[in-house]
A and B are shown apart, each in its own frame.
Chain A
Amino acid sequence: MESFGRALREKGFAYLIVGPFAIVLAFPFYVMFITAFKDQTEFYNPEVTPYWFGKDSPTWANATFLFENTQYPRWLANTAIVGLCVVAITLVLALPAGYALARLAGRVGQSLGVGIFLTYLVPPTLLFIPLFWVINQVNLQNSIWSLVLVYPSFTVPFSTWLLMGFFKTIPKELEDAALVDGASRLKTLTRVVFPISLPGILTVVIFSFSLVVNEFVYAFTFISPSENKMVSTGVYTDLIRGDLPEWGAIMVAALIPSIPLALLYNMFLDRFIAGFTGGAFR
């Protein structure tokens, strides 16, 4: 009976801590959601509570405005193109490297892996000025291809580290069996190792794509014409303008990429943790 009481108290304690944090951390997204579907005159009217809809809401008016009167669809498309290209480049470079660091290179591989990972810590704010200069030299300014070129500089180190962690968790016996059967090492890699690493590869795809959508500094410095902007910069530079920005449309614009990314993030979080720490403390 006493232990039952203690369990109850511990659970109550957990709710007491987690509940308030959850409310505070998720609050901006609640406001985003309410404003996105609220009638414009209502959120500029102090008589209507900002915590809920008024009598003319919910409405699709803000979403309609966003898709018909702004470049938002274009920014979404640009982000998708850059994201897919960056993910492809990342996989081509990080997949073999991650495998080799985990399996073939021994102790040198561990050190080299840490070295590659540390380059992930070199931030865009340190490199954007020289890269801006380079992008101008090669005439890629204002083109989304400048971002396709530069973004792998942070997705590759990050993904190599994650994949290295994943490959370490795959039993070595599987590969040995294939090798004994006479398959070449390259064939073992493409026929045996990569297929069973699919969950890990998917995790890398999602987290690399999410890094691309999150990036602000390069996208902001390299690209100025509205039609070539990314979602991360276009919404801020083009929709927040003048005395009365279209807050409803801005919130719809923020909500659309946030929902799927947040859901995917949560689904793959446990795998992410496994890979992230798997590389560090086997």
Chain B
Amino acid sequence: MEALAAARPRGRRWTDVFERPGVLASVLISPAVVFVLVLVGGPLILAIGLSFTNATSGELGGKWVGLANFRNEWSNPSFQHAVWHTFQFTFISQAIVLVGAGLLAHALSKNFRGKWFLRFLILLPWAAPLPLSLMAWKWMFDTSYSIFNWTLVHLNLVDKVDPPQYLAESKLAIGSVIAVHAWRILPFALVIFLAGLASIPKEVDDAAAIDGATGFRKFWSVTLPLQLPIATVALLFGIVFTATDMAVVYILTQGGPPPSFSTEMVTTWAYKTGIESGSLGPGAAISLFLLPVLAVVTILMLLFARKAEVS
């Protein structure tokens, strides 16, 4: 250590600038910031640029068309339906998630035998890779060999000749993708809820016990208000993950079933327009309609972050 100190007299070496926290911080932070700006900010600006042109994947550039892409989509029934489906998909699935995760978090905050294993089972939908676990859902919704229909037929609840087609009937299809997405997001919300419960200080519990608050009363007037901010965070994440998801819907129904296309979302419609049909301009315009959702969520998150910092 002495040798180190001797070899490094103050103000002699150029590396000494790294001893100033401000300089070192900039040097350490900038690569990540530049990378993220180039790979997230860049494409975002490019998306806005593309949306004002009629660019196709065949030719470079494309002509300036002003707001035509946005105007066309706004009055396009396919797009209008996609917006409505995305709305249903997001809000119904998140309502299920909030209720389910709330109940589970409450139950899992207690200690009981076999808890680790049950928690493992509950977290599986979030821990396993989604495009692969969707294969199991696709098989369970199979037109001829669905395990649900096998069970229902054996219970004499559905007709053997004409059983329900989960991904091919318009109402069942939207119901199925909502259920699968709720299944996927629920463990994530649960993890956030549990983190929130764990951060409630033990003293609060003790104080509530001294005041004689137990059971439902304690839950309602002590736990719930303290849980509310973290539940909001889980909900905001859930909204972003659902409204912008393409994997669940595309892998299960490809936005179908025809002719109603009851599961066409903003994301799958953007994919079909921009990549499958090669109309990059209109496709970029469609996906930019997701931006307002993100903006609202971002603002709410920032407000929440400030609140957390103050408290």
Give residues 212-259 of A contacting B (CB, 8 Å): 213-214, 216-217, 220-221, 231-233, 235-236, 240, 247, 250-251, 253-254, 257-258
List 20 extra interface pairs beyond A125-B290, A153-B36, CB under 8 A.
A22-B121, A25-B122, A25-B183, A29-B133, A96-B31, A96-B32, A97-B32, A100-B24, A104-B22, A118-B298, A130-B50, A132-B274, A186-B24, A221-B271, A232-B129, A236-B251, A258-B128, A261-B127, A265-B123, A269-B123
Assess whether A216 is in contact with B135, with CB atoms less than 8 Å apart.
no
CB distance from B176 to the nearest CB of A (A): 12
Q: Which residues on B sit within 8 Å (CB–CB) of A123?
A: 240, 244, 290, 294
Interface residue? B156 (CB, 8 A): no
Q: Which residues on A sit within 8 Å (CB–CB) of B288?
A: 126
Assess whether A129 is in contact with B270, with CB atoms less than 8 Å apart.
yes
A17 interface neighbour in B103, B198, B287, Cβ under 8 Å: B103
A247 interface neighbour in B5, B139, B275, Cβ under 8 Å: B139
A245 to B132, CA, bound (A): 15
Interface residue? B291 (CB, 8 A): yes
- A interface residues (Cβ-Cβ under 8 A, vs B): 10-11, 13-15, 17-19, 21-26, 28-29, 31-32, 35, 43-44, 46, 49-51, 92-94, 96-97, 99-101, 104-105, 109-110, 112, 114, 116, 118-119, 121-134, 136-137, 149-150, 152-153, 156-157, 160, 181-186, 210, 213-214, 216-217, 220-221, 231-233, 235-236, 240, 247, 250-251, 253-254, 257-258, 261-262, 265-266, 269, 273, 276-277, 280-281
Task: Contacts A93-B32, A119-B36, A182-B1 given; indicate if A213 touches B129 (C-beta within 8 A).
Answer: yes
Interface residue? B120 (CB, 8 A): yes
A41 to B274, CA, bound (A): 41
Q: Name which of B13-21, B75-83, B164-172, B218-226 contacts chain A.
A: B13-21
| A–B Cβ pairs within 8 angstroms, 10 of them | A17-B103, A93-B35, A97-B28, A122-B40, A128-B275, A129-B274, A131-B43, A184-B18, A254-B135, A262-B127
A130 to B288, CA, bound (A): 11
Q: Which residues on A sit within 8 Å (CB–CB) of B107?
A: 13-14, 17-18
Assess whether A125 is in contact with B112, with CB atoms less than 8 Å apart.
no
Assess whether A29 is in contact with B44, with CB atoms less than 8 Å apart.
no
Assess whether B195 is in contact with A14, with CB atoms less than 8 Å apart.
no
Assess whether B32 is in contact with A160, with CB atoms less than 8 Å apart.
yes
Give residues 48-100 of B contacting A (CB, 8 Å): 49-50, 55, 57, 60, 100
Chain A contact residues: helix, strand, loop or mixed: helix
Interface residue? B217 (CB, 8 A): no
